[in-house]
A = this chain, B = another copy of it.
Amino acid sequence: MIGSTVLGLDVGGSSVKYRLASAGQADGMPDAIAEGVAPALAEELPATLAELARTVSAGHRLAAVAVAIPGLVDEASGTVIRSSNVPALDGRALGPELSALLGVPVSILNDGRAAAVAEARWGAGAGERDVFTLALGTGIAGSHLVDGVIADGAHGSAGELGHVVVEPGGRLCSCGQRGCLETLLGAPALRRAWNAAGGEGSARELLAAYDEDDPRAVPIVRTAAQHLADAVLTLLALVDPGVVVVGGGLASAPHRLVELAAGYVAEQATFHRVPPIVPAELGRWAGAVGTAAEARALAARVVAA
Interface residues of A (CB under 8 A from B): 128-130, 142, 144, 146, 151-161, 163-168, 173, 175-177, 230, 233-235, 237-243, 268, 270-273, 275
**Residues of B close to A177: CB separation below 8 A:** 233, 268, 270
A160 CB → nearest B CB, Å = 4
In the A-B complex, the 10 residue pairs with the smallest Cβ-Cβ separation, listed nearest first, are: A153-B240, A154-B242, A176-B270, A158-B240, A155-B273, A130-B154, A160-B237, A175-B270, A175-B271, A163-B237
Given A157-B273, A168-B230, A272-B157, are A238 and B239 neighbors across the interface (CB < 8 Å)? yes
- Find out whether the CB atom of A152 lies under 8 angstroms from the CB atom of B235: no
State the majority secondary structure of interface residues on A. loop
**Residues of B close to A233: CB separation below 8 A:** 165, 177
Given contact pairs A144-B238, A160-B237, A235-B238, a sample of 7 additional A-B residue pairs in the complex whose CB atoms are under 8 Å apart: A153-B242, A155-B242, A158-B239, A163-B270, A165-B234, A234-B234, A239-B239
Number of copies: 2
**Residues of B close to A160: CB separation below 8 A:** 237-238, 271
Q: State A156–B157 Cα separation when bound (angstroms).
A: 23
- Find out whether the CB atom of B166 lies under 8 angstroms from the CB atom of A240: no
**Residues of B close to A168: CB separation below 8 A:** 166-168, 230
What are 28 contact pairs spanning A and B, CB under 8 A?
A146-B151, A152-B240, A153-B239, A153-B241, A153-B242, A153-B273, A154-B240, A154-B241, A154-B242, A154-B243, A155-B240, A155-B242, A157-B237, A157-B240, A157-B271, A158-B238, A158-B239, A159-B238, A159-B240, A160-B238, A161-B237, A163-B271, A166-B168, A168-B230, A175-B270, A175-B271, A176-B270, A177-B233
Q: Which of B130, B146, B238, B272 contacts A234 (CB 8 A)?
A: B238
- Name the CB-closest residue of B to A235: B238
